[in-house]
Chains A and B, each alone.
Chain A
Amino acid sequence: MTILFALIAWTMLPSRLVAQVAMAGEGTPLVEARLVTEATDVSRPFVVALSFTIASGWYLYWKNPGDAGLPLDVQWRMPVGFQVTALQYPTPDKIVHGDIVAYGYYDELLVQCTVIPPPGYVAGPDDAVRADLEWLVCKESCIPGRDSLSLKLERVSNGSVVAAGDVFGRFRERMPQTLSARNTVAGPLSLRTEGGHIVATIPLSGAGASGVTDFFPEPQEEFVVDHKSITVSDGKITIRLTPYDSAARLEHLDGLVIYGRRGYNLSIQIHKTP
Chain B
Amino acid sequence: MRKRTLFGGIMLGILALAAGAAWAVAAEVGKPAPGFTLTDLSGKVRSLSDFAGKIVVLEWTNPNCPFVRRVYGEGVMSTVQKQYVGKDIVWLAVNSTNKDHDDFESVESLRKTYGEWGAGFTALLLDTDGKVGKMYDARTTPHMFVVNTEGILVYNGAIDNAPRGGKGETVNFVKVALDEVRNGKKVSTPTTKPYGCSVKY
Contact = CB atoms under 8 A, between A and B. Distances in A.
A164 interface: no
Given A13-B73, A99-B137, A140 B164 contact: no
Given A73-B164, A134-B164, A142-B65, A15 B113 contact: yes
Nearest to A221: B193
Nearest to B192: A244
A87 to B, nearest CB: 16
A141 B103 contact: yes
Interface string B163-185: 11100000000000000000000
B134 interface: yes
Contacts of A27: none
Contact of B197 (A12, A15, A141, A243): A141
A102 interface: yes
A172 to B, nearest CB: 31
Interface in B15-56: 22-24, 28-30
B108 interface: no
B140 A67 contact: yes
Contacts of B101: 140
Contact of B188 (A11, A99, A225, A245): A245
A141 B137 CA distance: 19
Nearest to B189: A245
Given A10-B73, A140-B200, A67 B116 contact: no
Given A141-B64, A144-B66, A224 B191 contact: yes
The size class of the interface chain A forms with chain B is 35 or more
A196 B156 CA distance: 12
Contact of A70 (B163, B189, B192): B163
Contact of A67 (B117, B139, B188): B139
Given A141-B65, A142-B65, A244 B112 contact: no
B9 interface: no
Contacts of B22: 229
B157 interface: yes
Contacts of B69: 10-11, 13, 16
Given A67-B198, A100-B139, A134-B164, A14 B116 contact: yes
Given A11-B69, A15-B112, 12 more contacts: A15-B116, A16-B69, A16-B113, A98-B201, A140-B103, A141-B103, A142-B197, A143-B66, A195-B30, A225-B193, A244-B157, A244-B190
Interface of B: 22-24, 28-30, 64-66, 69-70, 72-73, 101-103, 112-113, 116-117, 134, 137, 139-140, 157, 163-165, 188-193, 195-201
